[in-house]
């Protein structure tokens, strides 16, 4: 059996997440450093690695031999000396494989209900605070209006979305 190379595995992971949308906002970047070395950033947002724990690696053996890998803000990040690019990819691939049995399977798409909940939450948060000093124009409401509306946050949401405010919103 022919063992797959690290580069092929990185390519497969990237391709498995390309769905016509993900690759327009996310991806993988490789750069060089002036000390000299490599810089690698891999987006984990909307992949099956999103929000997974990663134990930081920080090995500085000498001025010429060093590597750092960590996850922050849903990005795998790494720096390493000029001889460490393949090792950086190996660390990523081994970590990815240890997170799920089917490490190449992208996350399941959101259900219609989950997608609506996310959209509602984004819209609700975009409405901002109630500023007044004018009062909401909805009958029997004494809350202040939001900016750019004659209604309070709750009534503006319900008017636009034609449904009740999501549970947990105040």
Helices (H), the chain: 6-17, 22-25, 85-99, 112-126, 153-161
Asked if the structure places residue 105 within a domain, the reply is: no
Asked if the structure places residue 168 within a domain, the reply is: no
Q: 147 and 92: one domain?
A: no
Contact 49, 99 (CB under 8 A): yes
Question: What value does the mean pLDDT take over residues 118-133?
Answer: 89
d(CA 76, CA 125): 28
Q: 89 and 120: one domain?
A: no
Please count the structural domains in the chain.
2
Cα R_g (the chain), whole angstroms: 23
If one compares 127 and 106, the residue with the highest pLDDT of the two is 127
Q: How many CA atoms lie within 13 A of 88 on its CB side?
A: 26
Q: 73 and 125: one domain?
A: no
pLDDT digits (tens, 9 = 90+) for 90-113: 999 999 999 988 888 877 777 888
Instruction: Report percent pLDDT > 90 for the chain.
Output: 72
How does residue 114 score in pLDDT terms, banded at 50, 70 and 90? confident
Dihedral, 75, 80, 86, 90 alpha carbons, nearest 10 = -50
pLDDT digits (tens, 9 = 90+) for 39-63: 999 999 999 999 999 999 999 999 8
The pTM score is 0.69
Q: 126 and 91: one domain?
A: no
How does residue 3 score in pLDDT terms, banded at 50, 70 and 90? low
d(CA 11, CA 28): 10
Question: What value does the mean pLDDT take over residues 118-136?
Answer: 90
d(CA 86, CA 83): 8
pLDDT digits (tens, 9 = 90+) for 134-147: 999 999 999 999 99
* Residues of the domain holding 153: 112-161
**Matching residue, tokens 């636009």:** 160
pLDDT digits (tens, 9 = 90+) for 65-86: 999 999 999 999 999 999 999 9
Q: 53 and 131: one domain?
A: no
């Amino acid at each position: 059996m022919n063992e797959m190379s690290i580069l092929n595995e990185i390519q497969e992971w990237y391709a498995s997440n390309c769905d016509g949308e993900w690759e327009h906002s996310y991806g993988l970047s490789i750069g060089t450093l002036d000390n000299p070395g490599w810089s690698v950033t891999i987006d984990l947002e909307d992949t099956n690695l999103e929000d997974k724990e990663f134990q930081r690696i920080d090995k500085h053996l000498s001025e010429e031999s060093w590597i750092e890998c960590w996850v922050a803000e849903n990005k795998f990040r790494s720096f390493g000396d000029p001889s460490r690019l393949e090792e950086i990819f190996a660390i990523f691939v081994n970590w990815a494989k240890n997170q799920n049995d089917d490490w190449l399977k992208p996350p399941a798409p959101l259900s219609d209900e989950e997608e609506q909940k996310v959209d509602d939450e984004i819209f609700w948060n975009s409405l901002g605070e109630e500023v007044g000093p004018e009062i909401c124009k909805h009958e029997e409401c004494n809350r202040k209006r939001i900016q750019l509306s004659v209604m309070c946050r709750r009534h503006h949401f319900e008017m636009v979305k034609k449904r009740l405010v999501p549970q947990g919103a105040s």
